[in-house]
Amino acid sequence: MQALNESGSFFLELFFSGLTRGSIYALIALGYTMVYGIIGLINFAHGEIYMIGAFVGLTVAGILSILQFNLIAILVLAALFAMVYAAAYGYTIEKVAYKPLRGSTRLAPLISAIGMSMFLREYVILAQTPDFVSFPALTEGLFDLGAFSSMIQPTELVILIFSFLMMAGLFILIKKTKIGKAMRAISQDREMAMLLGVNSDRMISLTFMIGSALAAFGAILISAHVGQINYNIGFVVGIKAFTAAVLGGIGSIPGAALGGIILGLTESFATGYVSSDYEDVFAFGILVLILIFKPAGILGKSTTEKV
């Protein structure tokens, strides 16, 4: 009985930690999938935006804690600043590295994206530090979970709640508002959308900004949970989130969310029941299987429908 109970609670612990990890992957995967949906580009610099979001959050949190703000104010302001700053980065990167290449070969902006990713990483090494720096535990004291704390940590619960709220907000934006309609129209037929008066350049910028802000938001939450950051965190998470986007069906917004959750759970269970060495083996193994049996991803459309 005791053993069963223990295995049950171990399962739940793995489940929640996987869900947490997955919801962060999902937040970042949304950026990949939105950009892909609207201009057909894999934005490899997206992970670096996430990383820069974490550094901005760290800086803001540092300043505010010197000024003796309370923890919640620090959290809110750090997240807000990081999102705005990341959005500005996303906007600029699109204008500098991708927009001039629109209309050239498909490979050109992709290479530009990889270059931008390297540039940003090196830039942070030079401007900040090549070492790990500790990140304040901003979300630690928000909840007191009492007896449940063996299954889920307070910081994980914060991640779960806020990332789900963010995703719900995004779904409503895409589904219900005129901005979402314009974005969906552009992703189906950009020229036609422009002929209907939609300013496609502005919508593309907006897509980059929203994706970047979501990534920065995720970065603050996860950094406060993990407790340290460095210049390379965007690379690893970026690859995973990209995998999640492909898993769910790149270009599909619910697909990115689903792909993130599946990937997070897979990794967590692999770590818990097999070994943490096998975490990536299982994660990418699932990707390979999906790509073999359903090449467009779980929720992806099986045919290309570009006009």
- Which residues lie near another protein (CB under 8 A)? 169, 173, 177-179, 181-182, 184-185, 188-189, 191-200, 206, 210, 305, 307
CA angle at 259 for the pair 105 and 222, rounded to the nearest 5°: 100
298/188 Cα distance (integer angstroms): 20
Bridge partners, 134 (sequence order) = 228
CA angle at 294 for the pair 288 and 295, rounded to the nearest 5°: 70
| Beta strands in the chain, from DSSP E residues, in sequence order | 133-134, 228-229
149-155 LR contacts (CB < 8 Å, sep 24+)? 150/9, 150/13, 151/9, 151/12, 151/13, 151/16, 152/12, 152/13, 152/16, 152/17, 152/20, 153/225, 155/224, 155/225
256/298 Cα distance (integer angstroms): 10
2/148 Cα distance (integer angstroms): 17
Residue nearer to another protein on the CB measure, 33 or 223? 33
Q: Least distance (Å) from another protein to the CB of residue 159?
A: 21
Q: Least distance (Å) from another protein to the CB of residue 37?
A: 11
- Residue 64: C-alpha distances to residues 31, 74, 128, 230 (Å): 29, 6, 19, 21
What's the start-to-end Cα distance of the chain, in Å? 61
Q: Least distance (Å) from another protein to the CB of residue 4?
A: 47
Q: Least distance (Å) from another protein to the CB of residue 200?
A: 7
Q: Least distance (Å) from another protein to the CB of residue 135?
A: 27
Q: Least distance (Å) from another protein to the CB of residue 134?
A: 32
Q: Least distance (Å) from another protein to the CB of residue 101?
A: 18
Residue nearer to another protein on the CB measure, 122 or 191? 191
- Sequence-separated (6 or more) residues with CB below 8 Å from residue 238: 28, 44, 46, 47, 48, 50, 117
Residue nearer to another protein on the CB measure, 59 or 200? 200
Q: Exposed e or buried b for every residue in 229-262, given b needs 16+ CB within 10 A?
A: bbbbbbbebbebbbbbbbbbbbbbbbbbbbbbbb
Residue nearer to another protein on the CB measure, 49 or 206? 206
Residue nearer to another protein on the CB measure, 8 or 169? 169
Residue nearer to another protein on the CB measure, 183 or 270? 183
Q: Least distance (Å) from another protein to the CB of residue 2?
A: 50
Residue nearer to another protein on the CB measure, 184 or 294? 184
Residue nearer to another protein on the CB measure, 103 or 197? 197
